A and B are shown apart, each in its own frame.
Chain A
Amino acid sequence: MSLLEIRGLQVTFGGLDALSSLDFHVNDGEIVSVIGPNGAGKTTFFNAISGMVPPTEGEILFDGESVLGLDPNQITEMGIARTFQNVRLFPNMTVVENLMVSQHCRTSQLFVGALFQTKAFKKEEREIRERAEEILAFFGTRLTGYRLDQPAFALSYANRRRLEIARAMATQPRLLLLDEPVAGMNPMETAELTGLIGRLRDEWGFTIVFIEHDMKVVRDVSDRVVVLDHGVPIAEGSYESVSTDPDVIEAYLGRPLESRKDRR
């Protein structure tokens, strides 16, 4: 059974269809990549799933339940976490705080625990901190040690991107939506992160959908590739089949001039 099932999704911004009649599914444990030229609607697709923009039409089922109409935090609680293409950390909170606060919906302590420092409160604090450190350790030594207590804004670009992923992991999701996770990274960092994406599924058991422009990354980690253009899926399948699809090549490279004239 598919973990995420989307039928006939349509998102419209002021009369313009950013997404239209989009069908999509991800199976449990799959890594699916979404590719397409800029402005194709990939980020909008993630925004719709995570509840940040309301779809005009269509259905989104997560694990058999509809997520339409739910607030983003409720969707996150159900088990969908995302990262942002334009890194959006909590810049003035420390690295470890960024991860602790992201476990909010998995924890429950309120006033009484904090004010009386109850056993349950202390246990919860210890647990979320330990989990935060465990997640950060997944990225090697780059986000551990003294970095734990640095404000997020002080991190290097690549580290911010890593922290974005770590923060999404901290919400303890089943489905991870990664929006261009390696954008702006150098080849070495890209190669490293490509490896990590595979391990995210194998070791942590996440199902992953990720948007990517780097074809090497797409080829190396995805089980399936979905191509969007102008808000419409134009191809789907293995990397090999998609990368040779004439429609896809056309979408990326543009139509030959004559045929474009024909169309008009």
Chain B
Amino acid sequence: MTATLAPSGSSVALDWRRALLWGGICALSLVSVSLIGLPVGMNKRILIEPVLSLGYLFLLWIPLVFGYVATTVVVLEGVEARKSGVADLLAGLTAGLMGGIGLTLLMVGLDTVNIRKPLVNWSPQLFRLLTFERGLEFGIPVWLGICAGLGLVGAVLHQLPAVARRVMSWVLFGVMAVAILEAVIDDLAEGFHLEWLTDALYYKKGGTEGLTVTSAVVLALVLAALPVVTGGRVKAAVDHYRDAPSEDRRRTSLVLFGAIAVACVGLPMILGGIVNELLANVGLFLLLALGLNIVVGLAGLLDLGYVAFFAVGGYTTSVLTSSNSPFFAPEWHFGIALLFVVVMAAVAGLLIGAPVIRMRGDYLAIVTLGFGEIVRLLFLSDWLKPYFGGSQGITKVNPVDIGPFKVQGSDPRSVFYLVLFFCALAIYVSWRLQGSRLGRAWMATREDEQVAEAMGINTVNAKLMAFVVGATMAAFSGAVLAAKVGSVFPKSFEILVSIIILVVVIVGGMGNIAGVMVGSLVLIGILGGPRQPGLLQEFQSYKLLIYGALLVFMMLKRPEGLVPSARRSRELHQDEYLQDAWLGDEAETEGDQGAPS
């Protein structure tokens, strides 16, 4: 692999077709994002007062990214990378400019025709937003300039040294994160009595108003300086940790784990209601995702009816602890109800698992999808209305009494602690099972069911156990939900729940506990659950769109998830991994031949 071909076309001619193609896609993206309504819908959320709102951000990143993509040099193995030059800058500029032309056409269209009937967002608001309320003469040149400029910047990014690129993206994401997480940071600062900091940082005229221009600039400078100040000490520490003997690594891990535990227990004390509410929702979905991770990630059973177990947990708890349960209302304590939740979850797991257990892949997915819906419809049905209250559900679920504490929805902190308890339990269980006889049997079943059987594994039992363990975790989550909301309705158990949990597991990193945790924190915390608002409440109506887009993006670009397990990233990047392994092997075989065998 030493021979490299001469760089093809070292004359660095501009690849017009490619630039125009990406430019076209850029224009289409800008127009469709506008017509979906994202800019107008998010315009109220100011990130940097008064220059940047979340709405504009949704437009601005597009030409930048396409400028970058249009000029990415494809490096083939064994071929020397083509040097990027002036032609690339021109290509980036073109791609961006095409985006600007797209927006221009849109603005002219908005001005001249009215097709609001089919296109709800073909609106005067959009026109005003795009023209900055100053008419076409202002809007068109400005957007052409902005888009071309950003495209150019995207292209320039390739020419910068890698360090500069990293610092820039760090600064950009940092500033945006601080702006978007305003509510959380505000809340945290209040807890630590650091209001002066947030007062300086944010514009603050009632509600979330974004950073001020000065604070954004200062923040950017600070963030940019940070890598210089730390001087790679963080990276050195990480490397040191990685290379440390396992004994030391264990100790560091323990310290880290302790710190996280302390933070989990301590932070809610100083956090306010809104953030605690968010965290409680994150916990509820984390619990669900951990269960699904065992079923899908470990045992490889694509269960799309997972919400059924969530419903079983919720309804069991409600019937047993509510004073208003229509048929049978013993008003037991939550703890006693939990025992029944476990039993009912196991029964449901076996009932749904047994008939589908012999099915594979797609068939299993479709049948479980049906089962999930059947369970919801049963709870909704007139037939079972005398027992479960039909669409009215069961209300007046008693708060959970734990000594001096009461866990109820009006006190999100208490709910968070309850969820935290169950999550900790579920994490421990997942972790221990993964490295046990059962966990290995699950993995073998996922890899090749027939062979697993031939190697002495009772795959039917293994799969049923995966179903039951997953079902139990989901049912616990349902139990907490019932206590939190104080009621259950069939509406809370739609298919969408199954799907969102699956997205959380996939985006986070299938088969990996840490990944699932990050996935729920990011997705549920920021975007929100199926019926629970996230940090960015403005996303409410675009939530599914963003979930979908994220899923597609992750499948294409990073199928191993945000936090991949070592195993899974090896699996998905087999070819790269194999190349190394085989090369190593070849070398070894050569060595073998030399030695007497």
Please list the residues of chain A having a beta carbon within 8 angstroms of any beta carbon in chain B.
50, 52, 71-73, 76-77, 81-82, 84, 88-93, 97, 100-107, 109-111, 113-115, 117, 121, 124-125, 150-151, 153-156, 159, 167, 171, 188, 192
Chain B residues, Cβ within 8 Å of A156: 582, 585, 589
Interface residue from A50, A101, A115, A121 paired with B441 (Cβ < 8 Å): A101
Sample 24 A-B pairs with CB under 8 A, ordered by A number.
A71-B453, A73-B453, A73-B455, A73-B459, A81-B455, A82-B454, A88-B451, A90-B444, A91-B571, A92-B443, A92-B567, A93-B447, A101-B444, A101-B455, A103-B456, A104-B441, A104-B444, A109-B436, A114-B439, A117-B432, A154-B570, A154-B577, A188-B597, A192-B597
B574 within 8 A of A: yes
A171 adjacent to B456 (CB under 8 Å): yes
Nearest A residue to B458 via CB reads A73
B255 within 8 A of A: no
A89 to B439, CA, bound (A): 17
Chain B residues, Cβ within 8 Å of A151: 567, 570-571, 577
B457 adjacent to A73 (CB under 8 Å): yes
B456 adjacent to A90 (CB under 8 Å): no
A76 adjacent to B454 (CB under 8 Å): yes
Nearest B residue to A150 via CB reads B581
Known: A91-B447, A121-B436, A156-B585. 9 other contacts (CB 8 A): A71-B453, A71-B458, A73-B456, A92-B568, A92-B570, A92-B571, A100-B440, A103-B456, A105-B457
Chain A residues, Cβ within 8 Å of B347: none
A171 to B494, CA, bound (A): 45
B448 within 8 A of A: yes
A97 adjacent to B440 (CB under 8 Å): yes
Chain A residues, Cβ within 8 Å of B568: 92
A67 to chain B minimum Cβ distance, whole angstroms, is: 13
Nearest B residue to A152 via CB reads B447
A102 to B447, CA, bound (A): 13
Chain A residues, Cβ within 8 Å of B459: 73
Chain B residues, Cβ within 8 Å of A72: 450, 453-454
Interface residue from B435, B437, B448, B574 paired with A107 (Cβ < 8 Å): B437
A111 to B447, CA, bound (A): 22
Interface residue from B432, B440, B453, B593 paired with A101 (Cβ < 8 Å): B440
B444 adjacent to A113 (CB under 8 Å): no
- CB contacts under 8 Å to A, within B402-450, are 428-429, 432-433, 435-441, 443-444, 447-448, 450
A135 to chain B minimum Cβ distance, whole angstroms, is: 13
B578 within 8 A of A: yes
Nearest B residue to A78 via CB reads B456
Nearest A residue to B447 via CB reads A90
Nearest A residue to B451 via CB reads A88
Instruction: Report the 4 A-B pairs with minimum CB-CB distance, sorted nearest first.
Output: A105-B456, A114-B436, A76-B456, A154-B581
A153 to chain B minimum Cβ distance, whole angstroms, is: 6
A73 to B429, CA, bound (A): 27
A31 to B252, CA, bound (A): 54
Chain A residues, Cβ within 8 Å of B440: 93, 97, 100-101, 104
Chain A residues, Cβ within 8 Å of B436: 109, 113-114, 121, 125
Nearest A residue to B567 via CB reads A92
A88 to B454, CA, bound (A): 11
A91 to B577, CA, bound (A): 13
Nearest A residue to B450 via CB reads A52
Nearest A residue to B443 via CB reads A93
- CB contacts under 8 Å to A, within B465-493, are none
Chain B residues, Cβ within 8 Å of A153: 571, 574, 578
A92-B567, A192-B597 are known contacts. Are A154 and B441 too (CB-CB below 8 A)?
A: no
A154 to B577, CA, bound (A): 8
Chain B residues, Cβ within 8 Å of A150: 581
Chain B residues, Cβ within 8 Å of A107: 437
A167 adjacent to B458 (CB under 8 Å): no
A101 adjacent to B457 (CB under 8 Å): yes
Chain B residues, Cβ within 8 Å of A171: 455-456
A177 to B454, CA, bound (A): 12
A77 adjacent to B456 (CB under 8 Å): yes
- CB contacts under 8 Å to A, within B550-580, are 567-568, 570-571, 574, 577-578
A114 adjacent to B448 (CB under 8 Å): no
A73-B458, A101-B455 are known contacts. Are A115 and B438 too (CB-CB below 8 A)?
A: no
A251 to chain B minimum Cβ distance, whole angstroms, is: 29
B458 adjacent to A76 (CB under 8 Å): no
Chain A residues, Cβ within 8 Å of B447: 90-93
Chain A residues, Cβ within 8 Å of B452: 90, 101
A167 to B440, CA, bound (A): 14
A123 to chain B minimum Cβ distance, whole angstroms, is: 13
A142 to B513, CA, bound (A): 33
Chain B residues, Cβ within 8 Å of A82: 454
B25 to chain A minimum Cβ distance, whole angstroms, is: 35
A92-B447, A102-B456, A110-B438 are known contacts. Are A115 and B429 too (CB-CB below 8 A)?
A: yes
A92-B567, A121-B436, A151-B571 are known contacts. Are A97 and B455 too (CB-CB below 8 A)?
A: no
A90 to B298, CA, bound (A): 13
Nearest B residue to A103 via CB reads B456
A188 to B590, CA, bound (A): 13
A154 adjacent to B448 (CB under 8 Å): no
Chain B residues, Cβ within 8 Å of A167: 455
Chain B residues, Cβ within 8 Å of A50: 454
A94 to B589, CA, bound (A): 21
Chain B residues, Cβ within 8 Å of A71: 453, 458
Chain A residues, Cβ within 8 Å of B456: 73, 76-77, 102-106, 171
